[in-house]
Structure 1
Amino acid sequence: MTAEVLPTARWQYCGEPDERRKAVLVQFSNGKLQNPGNMRFTLYHNDSENPRKKNQRILAAETDRLSYVGNNFGTGALKCNTLCRHFVGILNKTSGQMEVYDAELFNMQPLFEDESVESVPTLESQTKSFREKMDSCIEAFGTTKQKRSLNSRRMNKVGSESLNLAVAKAAENIIDTKGVDALVSDAIQDDLQDISLYLPPCHEDATKPEDVYKFEDILSPAEYEALKIPSEAFRKVTSEEILKMIEDSRHSTFVIEALKALPSNEESRDRQARCIWFLDTLLRFRTQKVIKKKSILGPGIPHIVTSKLLKQFTCLSYNNGSLQNLISNSMKAKITAYVVILALHINNFQIDLTVLQRDLKLNKKRMIEIAKAMRLKISKSKSPLVDSMEEEHRLGTLSIPLPPAYSLEHQSKRKKVT
C-alpha cells in the first residue's frame, strides 16, 4: 500500500484591512439558527469624516419571522472587539494555503416592532419626501451633531410657521383698518426714508454748495492720499487713450466725459483724477453681488480703500459655514448716493442725471427720487444727438438755499394742482 501524501498547510496573513472591509462574525443572543441559509444580511457604515465615528457599523438581519440588529458601537457593542482580535481563515485544499483575514464580531439581538404600528406600509409612509426619509435615517443612525442640527431645523420651522401665521393675521387686520391705498402710500414714504438713511451727513445750514455734502465725509485725508498712485493713469490720460477707452467700453459715460474735461492746472487736475478714479471704482463695485475676495476689483486698489468699500458698502452674510460680504439693495442705494455726491464735486455741483442713471442702470423714477432726497433742484435740458437730433435730459443742481426735503406730501399736492 502507498500512503497518500498531504500537502503542507501554510498560513498567509492578508495584511491590515480597511476597517470597513473586515469580515463579519455574528452570534445571536436568543439562540442558534436552524436554517442559516434563510437569513438576509445588510451592513451599514457611517460616512462621517470624524475618525472616531467613521468605523461605526450596523448589521441588520431578517428572517421570515424576526428581524435582528447588531452594532459595533454604543452600549450594545461587544467589549471583546476592543480587547481581542478575531480572524477568519480560508483554506485552499489544493495548495494547502490558508488566507487569514481580520474579522469583527456582532451580537445580533431580535428587533420587535411596536404593536401599534401596522406591518402594511401606510399611504403616509409611501408618500414621504426624500427629506423626511433622510431625517428618519438621521434620527436612527445619525451622529450627535447631525441630530442636533435636525432638532434645530425643526424648531426653526415651527417658529417660522408660527411667525408667518402671526404676520398674516396682523396683515389682514392692518388692511381691514387702513385700506390698500393708504398702505401703498406708507410704503412709498418708507422707501424714501430708507434712501435718506444711507446719505452722508447733509449740512442744511451750509452757505456754499461744497459744504452741504463735505468732501471729507466722502474721502478722509488718508484715503484721498492713498488714491495718488492708482489715479495717476487718469491724471496723465491722453486723447488717444480716451478714444481707446470708448472703443473698449471699459468705463462709464460719465467717467469718459469727466476725463475729457480734466483741467490743465496740475493741482486741480490731480484732485479731479483722484475723484474720477474713486467714482469709477464705486461704479464697478456696485455691479457685484457677493465679494468673495478682497482683490475682486484688481490688485491696484490700496488696502485702505478696499477696507472702506467692504466696511461702508457691504453687509456681512452667513452662507455655507462662512461669512461673506454681500452688496444688498440698500447698500446699492448707498453707493448710488455717494456716486452722485462725488459727481457733484467733480462737475461743479451740476450733473446730468440721465447719464448717471444709465451708468448706474437705474430707472428714471428711482434716479429722480434719490436726487430729490439729496435736495437737488431738478431741471430739463436738451442734449444733442447725431443727425441734428436732440434728447431730453434731467439735470440735478446742488445750490443754496436748499429746496424742501422731498416727501410724499409734496408729491401728492403737486399732483392735485396739475
Structure 2
Amino acid sequence: MAASCSLVCCEEERESDKAVIVRFSNGNVKNEDKLDFTLYKNMDEKNPRKKSRRILVAESDRLSYVGHTFGTGSMKCNSLSKYYVGVLNKQTNQMEVHSALLFNMQPVIPGETTESVKSADASQSYRDKVDSLIEAFGTNKQKRALSSRRLNQVGSDTLHHAVTSAANTVIDKKGLEALQHEVAEIESQGDLSLHLPPCNVNADTRENVYPFDELLSPVEFGALEQAGSKIAALTPEELQNMRNEGGCLSVLRHLDNMPTADELRDKTARCAFYLSLLLKLSRQRSVTRKFGQEDDCPRIIQNKLMRTFTVETFNNGRVQNIVSSSMRAKLAAYCLVLLLHMGHMTADLTLLHRDLGITEAKMTEVAKSMGLTLMKTPRDKAEDAALRDDHKQAALVLPLVKYDQFSERRKRKKMH
C-alpha cells in the first residue's frame, strides 16, 4: 500500500525559497552537475517595473548560457501566469510548494553578432535594398547616380543634424511651453487690447467704463479688509520709512492723502494694498506659491494673482509661474485702471511707469490703447525731488479717445 503524503505551503516567500526551472534552447544538457548557476536580481527594488527582473547565468567549460525574465528573449509566461513547484521531502512525506521562475537559457558565443545583423536587415527599407543591389550588380551609370545621391544625402543629413541639435539645446534650456508662449507673445505684442481689463464703451458714467468689480470682485474686496485696516493705521513715521526704503510712489501718494470719510478711506486702503501687490509682482520674473505671504496676503488674492498675471511653464521637470512681458503690459493696464478709481478718474503715468520698471513710451502706449486722455501738469517746488518734474497724467474722459496706429517705417539703405 502506498504511503500517504501531506501538502505544506510556505508561509513566507523569500528569494531563497523560489524555485528555478530552466529550459535550454539548443538541446538537452547531459552533465548538469558541471554547470555553475548564478542568479542576479535588479538592485532598483523601489521601481515596480524593475524589482522583478532576474538574470540566470549557467557556465560550463565550453559554453555560457544566459536567461532573463525581461526583454525580447524572455518567456512571456512569467508575466502572464504564476507558477509553483512542489518539493517532496522523502523523510517526512511532506511536499512543500514554492514559487517558480521559468528561464529560457540561450548560449552566448563570444564575438557572435547575429542579433545585430538580423536587426539591421529587418530595419532596411526598400530603397536600401535596391541600393545594395545596384552597388553589387548595377551598371557604371547607375553606380555614379547612386554615389551622387549619397553625397547629397550626407550634406542634407549634416544640416538637419545641426539644426536639430541647436533646436534641442534651446528647448532644453527654456522649455517647450516657454518657447510656445514666447511665439504667441511676439504675435500679440502689436495688439495690447488682448491684455486690457474688460471695457464698456457704451457706459453712461466714467466709473462704469472699466468696472471696479472686474478688478476686484465683492468677495475679493471683502477679503482685503484686514490688510486694508493695517494700511489705514500707518503713522507718518512709518510712511516715511517706507519712502526711505524705496516704496512704491504711486501707493505712497495715495496713503499721504487718505480721505477722511470712513467708507472712502477703507476702500482706498484696500486698493492701495492690492496695488502694492500688483507693483511687486511686476518686478518678479519667477513667482512661487509663497508670494505675498510676508505681506499677509489672503489666499484668494494670491490665487487671483497667479491665475491672472502669470504663465505656467515647464522647466527641468518642474512647473514654474513666470511674469512674461505680455503679463507686465497686462499688469500695467490693471494698475492704471485701479489708480483711476482711486484718483477720481485721473492717474499719474510718470509715477506708475517708475514703479512698474517699464519705459515711459510703453506706459503711454498702454494708456492710449485704453482710450485715455493724456496731459502734463507741472509739480510744485516744495515736493520731493523725485516729483520735481513735469508728470504725464492720464484721465478718463467720455467719449474715449481713438488714437491712430503709428507704424514705424525703416529707411532703406541706398545701394552704391
State the match for 1:376 in structure 2: 372
Alignment of 1:398 onto 2:396:
yes
Alpha-carbon shift at residue 232 of structure 1 (Å)? 0.5
Per-residue deviation at 1:277? 1.0
Task: Output the CA distance in 2 between the equivalents of 1:246 and 1:266.
Answer: 25
Which residue number in structure 2 is paired with residue 279 of structure 1?
A: 275
| C-alpha spacing 1:218/1:41, structure 2 compared with 1 (3 Å) | same
1:83 counterpart SS class: strand
Q: Does residue 345 in structure 1 map to residue 341 in structure 2?
A: yes
Identity of aligned residues (%): 35
Note the C-alpha offset of 1:188. 8.6
Of the candidates 287, 292, 296, which is equivalent to residue 291 of structure 2? 296
Cα offsets for 1:128-168 (capped at 9, x unmatched): xxxxxxxxxxxxxxxxxxxxxxxxxxxxxxxxx9xx99xxx
Query: In structure 2, do the counterparts of structure 1 residues 71 and 233 end up closer, same or farther at CA, with 3 Å as the change threshold?
Result: same
2:262 equivalent in structure 1: 266
Report the CA distance between 1:226 and its aligned residue.
2.3
Deviations 1:355-377 (A, max 9, x none): 21121121333222212111123
Paired with 2:60 and 2:406, the residues of 1 have a C-alpha distance of 77
Counterparts of 1:356-371 in structure 2 under 5 Å? 356-371=352-367
Q: What's the CA shift for 1:70?
A: 1.0
Q: 1:66 to 1:209 in 2, by over 3 A?
A: farther
AA matched with 1:83: Y
Deviations 1:228-252 (A, max 9, x none): 2211011121101101222344x32
2:199 alignment partner in structure 1: 202
Matched letter for residue 348 of structure 1: H
Q: Name the SS of the counterpart of 1:256 in structure 2.
A: helix
Partner of 2:231: 234
Match of residue 306, structure 1, among 298, 302, 305: 302
Number of equivalent positions? 314
Instruction: Encode CA deviations 1:165-206: one digit per residue, 9 max, x unaligned.
Output: 9xxxxxxxxxxxxxxxxxxxxx9995232x211212223334
38 and 381 in structure 1: CA distance in 2 versus 1, 3 angstrom threshold: farther
Instruction: Give me the whole-angstrom Cα distance separating, in 1, the residues matched to 2:386 and 2:66.
Output: 89
Q: Residues 94-173 of structure 1 correspond to what in structure 2 (within 5 A)?
A: 108-111=105-108, 115=114, 117=116
Give 1:44-63 correspondences, 5 Å limit.
45=42, 47=44, 49-51=46-48, 53-59=50-56
In 2, Cα distance between equivalents of 1:382 and 1:23: 94
Aligned residue number for residue 75 of structure 1: 75
Report the AA paired with residue 237 of structure 1.
L
Question: Are residues 41 and 356 of structure 1, via their aligned partners in 2, closer, same or farther at CA, if it must alter by over 3 Å?
Answer: farther
Partner AA of 1:200 in structure 2: P
In structure 1, what is the Cα distance between the partners aligned to 2:303 and 2:266?
Answer: 23
Within 1, Cα distance between the matches of 2:394 and 2:186? 22
Unaligned runs of 5+ in 2: 1-11, 88-99, 119-159, 165-184, 410-416
8 Å contact kept, 1:230–1:300: yes
CA RMSD of aligned residues (A): 4.8
Preserved CA contact (<8 Å) 1:40 1:63 = no
Which residue identity is paired with 1:296? F
Give the C-alpha shift of residue 401 in structure 1: 3.1
Amino acid paired to 2:291:
I
Whole-angstrom distance in 2 between the partners of 1:387 and 1:312: 35
| Aligned 8 A contact 2:378 2:391 in 1 | yes
Per-residue deviation, 1:352:
2.5
1:273-307 Cα distance to aligned partner (Å, 9 max, x none) = 111111112223344455553x5311733343334
1:212-239 Cα offsets, whole Å, 9 max, x none, are 2122221222322222221101112110
Task: Return the TM-score normalized by structure 2.
Answer: 0.58
Deviation readout 1:303-350 (Å, 9 max, x if unpaired): 433343344334555678886655444333322211111112222333
- In structure 1, runs of 5+ residues without a counterpart are 1-15, 87-102, 120-160, 166-186, 413-418
Deviates more, 1:74-83 or 1:227-236: 74-83
SS of residue in 1 equivalent to 2:193: helix
State whether residues 39 and 54 of structure 2, in contact with CA within 8 Å, keep that contact through their aligned partners in structure 1: no
**CA–CA distance in 2 between the matches of 1:344 and 1:286?**
19
Structure 1 stretch 354-363 or stretch 110-119: which is displaced more? 110-119
1:184-195 alignment runs, 5 A limit: 190-193=188-191, 195=192
Taking the aligned partners of 1:38 and 1:365, their CA distance within structure 2 comes to 84
Of residues 308, 324, 329, the one that matches 1:333 is 329
- On the 8 A contact 1:291/1:324 being kept in 2, the answer is yes
Partner of 1:130: none
Q: Which amino acid aligns with 1:245?
A: M
Sort the Cα spacing of 1:297 and 1:65 in 2 relative to 1 into closer, same or farther, 3 A.
Answer: farther
Q: CA deviation at 1:72?
A: 3.8
Q: TM-score, normalised by structure 1?
A: 0.58
**Cα distance in 2, alignment partners of residues 340 and 311 from structure 1:** 19
Give the 3 Å change call, closer, same or farther, for CA 188–292 of structure 1 in structure 2. Answer: closer
Give 1:255's match in structure 2, choosing from 238, 251, 254.
251
Seen in structure 2, the aligned counterparts of structure 1 residues 348 and 110 have a Cα distance that, compared at 3 Å, is same
Summarize the Cα distance change of 1:315–1:78 in structure 2 as closer, same or farther, 3 Å threshold.
Answer: closer
